[in-house]
Structure 1
Amino acid sequence: MIDVREKQELRDRIKEVLRSVSSVENRRASILVTKNVLNSEAWKSCPVVLSFVSINGELDTSMLIQIGLDQGKIVGVPRTAGSYMTFHRIRKLAFPGETGLTGVREPTSAHPAVEPGQELKFPEIAHRPEYATRDTPLSLVVVPGLAFDRRGNRLGRGGGAYDRYLARYNDKVVTIGVCLERQIVDAVPVGKQDIGVSYIATENGLYTTREL
């Protein structure tokens, strides 16, 4: 049985570490992490990118989102209803939206939903025969986290939205967790409901969770 206190202690410890990261260091690391994600086979092969919108203290995902749009990818960002999360398509970085409960800008329900496994509903993808016949995921999910370990286990902020989302779609997506190298720990306490990631991108490189 997972010790809830153990998770909270790790959250508190990582939050303290992140408080020591300057805005300059965060910006530098964000650029390097972005480059490492862009160089990944997952990014190159997936026509759909689903990314979180960063808040203060997190690695900046705006560059990744903008590049995805510039490259003609279908880009989706999260919309939440309680702990239930969906991704909706945006066509520009400064998308029309509303502020969610966590203070993050979210798309409105008028933005088309982007659902893993249903990517062929978008003409840009359906018209490409290599996507229509592919049996590997078409969607890449860029996953936030306070901490990750070498097996790809992830510690979030405690809401469980990403765990619930990935429980629904984990076999239909490729996942890359993004964090600073110092957010990688020896072991993240996990339970049955916790879903890990396939890759981790830090300022030092991109790792599969078996090679980290």
Structure 2
Amino acid sequence: MATNIQNLKNTLRQEVKQTLSRMCIEEKHLQSNYVAQKLIQHRKYLEATRIGIYLSLADEIQTESILKHMFSIGKLCFIPRYNAESMDMIRMESFEERDTLPKTKWNIPQPTEDSHREDATQTGGLDILIIPGRAFTKSGYRLGRGKGYYDKYLSRYKEKFDGKLPYMIGLAYAQQIYEELPITETDQKLDEILFDNREESVPYL
């Protein structure tokens, strides 16, 4: 059964990858702007001080405008730092730093292992965590890229903070919303998914 679910996940990841590759830059930009506006007007975002957020790849909802807004109003920003087995959420000091951080083999900017920075789980935790994914359901289930970084991070976070998790928000293109996904007991359900739902005619795959 586990092997079957994993095969379904891998097939779905490839389908979503192909769908996103057919989206033009303009459409990605429009949807990203809409989702970003939904987020920065969200009550949980406005109330939050410590925010975890990803630095976007080309096929993810773009977070550049969100990062700019965070720094402009004094939010504390934490971004993923990946290694071979796990990830941590590390303090980012300024928006401009995004262009100077070294990049991983996946082309993701992140602080180096030897840089002395605040680790969110070693200090006050996070108020909200903004999460990317390959596919989502409206109810909050998420399909990641297959490495399990976020699920493992959230498991460690739970242990550290006595079962408490930050409020978790997924960001998605309309084309990433599915009616259901293949899931297992280790898949962490998110609290909310923000996506471009302006057009009822947008087909959900």
TM class, shorter-length: 0.7 to 0.9
The alpha-carbon deviation at position 72 of structure 1 amounts to 0.4
Question: Residue deviations 1:137-186, cap 9 Å, x none?
Answer: 85211100110113311101101101111222252311100001221111
The alpha-carbon deviation at position 204 of structure 1 amounts to 2.4
Report what 1:58 is aligned to.
Answer: 60
The alpha-carbon deviation at position 86 of structure 1 amounts to 0.6
Report what 1:168 is aligned to.
Answer: 156
Report what 1:191 is aligned to.
Answer: 184
Contact 1:89 1:111 in 2 (8 A): no
Report what 1:155 is aligned to.
Answer: 143
Report what 2:46 is aligned to.
Answer: 44
* Counterpart selection for 2:73 from 55, 71, 74: 71
The alpha-carbon deviation at position 62 of structure 1 amounts to 0.9
TM-score (norm 2): 0.85
Q: Which runs of 4+ in 1 moved over 6 A?
A: none
Contact 1:149 1:185 in 2 (8 A): yes
The 1-side partners of 2:91 and 2:11 are apart by 36
Contact 1:116 1:173 in 2 (8 A): no
Q: Between Structure 1 and Structure 2, how many residues are aligned?
A: 188
Which sections of structure 1, spanning at least 5 residues, go unmatched?
120-136, 206-212
Describe the shift of the 1:118–1:172 C-alpha distance in structure 2 as closer, same or farther (beyond 3 A): farther
- Which amino acid in 2 is paired with 1:176? I
The 2-side partners of 1:40 and 1:90 are apart by 22
Partner of 1:159: helix, strand, or coil? coil
The 2-side partners of 1:172 and 1:9 are apart by 30
Tell me, yes or no, if structure 1 residue 18 matches structure 2 residue 59.
Answer: no
TM-score (norm 1): 0.82
Describe the shift of the 1:147–1:54 C-alpha distance in structure 2 as closer, same or farther (beyond 3 A): same
The 1-side partners of 2:74 and 2:119 are apart by 15
Greater fraction strand? 1
Partner of 1:99: helix, strand, or coil? coil
Aligned residues with identical type, % of pairs: 25
Partner of 2:96: helix, strand, or coil? coil
